[in-house]
Copies of this chain bind each other. A is one copy, B any other.
Amino acid sequence: MERRGEQRTTMTTIKDVAKRAGVSVSTASVALSGRGPVSEATRRRVLEAAKALDYRPNAIARSLVTRRTQTVGLVLSDITDPYFHEITKGVEHVLSAAGYALILADTDRSAAKERRSLEIFEGQRVAGIILAGSGTEDEAAPLDLKGDGIAVVTIGRHHAGLPFVAVDNVKAAGQAVAHLAETGARRIAFVAGPEGLLAAEERREGYLAALKERGLPSCPEWIVRGDFTPQGGHRAVAELLERCGRGACPEPDAILAANDQMAIGVLKGLKERGIPVPEEIAVAGIGGIPTGEFVDPPLTTVALPMKAMGEAAAGMLLEMIEGGRRKARPSVWLETHLLVRASTGAGRA
């Protein structure tokens, strides 16, 4: 029998309101929504009754008949990653201002959990879904959604054949390399992100392209893989210093990390070894997370407009939901900008 909970949700219904106001249910509905013609007198009576009874329309019943909900789902790969905080904030602001509820799902970077979350969203009949964070494998699942009338927008997954909000990661990495070069770096190492992750690969590509473009030397030993965490950056710097110098490659005079989190780990690693930053090795990241300002030395980075990305994605989604098919859905590229701080700055040759 599986006798579960007693959630006796006996809140007041529109029927109660109608009775108290002495009108039919349909009239009450019309009066409350202001959708049809009602005399001023009854309108007032209904509103009064609703207030007196503390009536709260049942969104569930409403959705059932209108076949439309005021909820959207946000899927992200790890709510603990600073990258998502501002995104989430932006999304939440736009949605709640429009009267939508935000359902959050954290996939822990697991494709299975992502799939499951999407199923729950479908069950809830969300009006739309925002996919943030990186599908590595399994780009098929989100595509399935297109079938059943759920609007989808992705953030930073511009390859999936869905409308997206993104930044140019190739260019972002290029900005960082350019800046490092301008401050005198000649041997720039790179701490890459997790394999197969789109943003990570693009930044790597941008790094290599920028080296070539500027005629800077490149060396396979200067590229070491991380996992987008500070711990990963910390390990990476150990590996980097160990393998360079004794092999064919000389030690780098700058390190670019594919995200800020790793850059912060790099700083910590260098400090532990007593290597002065930026005098001996300059360090830069990509991301622009708030913490970067407070580490030592403060971190130079290429800032991504995260909050704007969240807002843009939510805005696009709302247009798609409320505008129906008529609205075009222009994906958008947002600009990144260099944030120079001390980790590449003063004291440098």
Contacts and interface: CB of A to CB of B under 8 A. Distances in A.
A4 interface: yes
Interface residues of A, number: 71
Nearest to A126: B101
Interface stretch (A14-22, A165-173, A288-296): A288-296
Contacts of A10: 148-149
Nearest to A123: B59
A102 B104 CA distance: 6
A120 B106 CA distance: 22
Contacts of A150: 9
A294 B322 contact: no
How many copies of this chain does the complex contain?
2
Contacts of A264: 294
A80 to B, nearest CB: 5
A61 B60 CA distance: 8
A60 B58 contact: no
A5 B124 contact: no
Interface string A95-106: 010010111111
Given A80-B85, A294-B291, A103 B106 contact: no
A264 to B, nearest CB: 5
A30 B103 CA distance: 29
Interface stretch (A39-47, A67-75, A177-185, A251-259): A67-75
A58 B123 contact: yes
Interface string A245-285: 00000000000000000001101100100000000000000
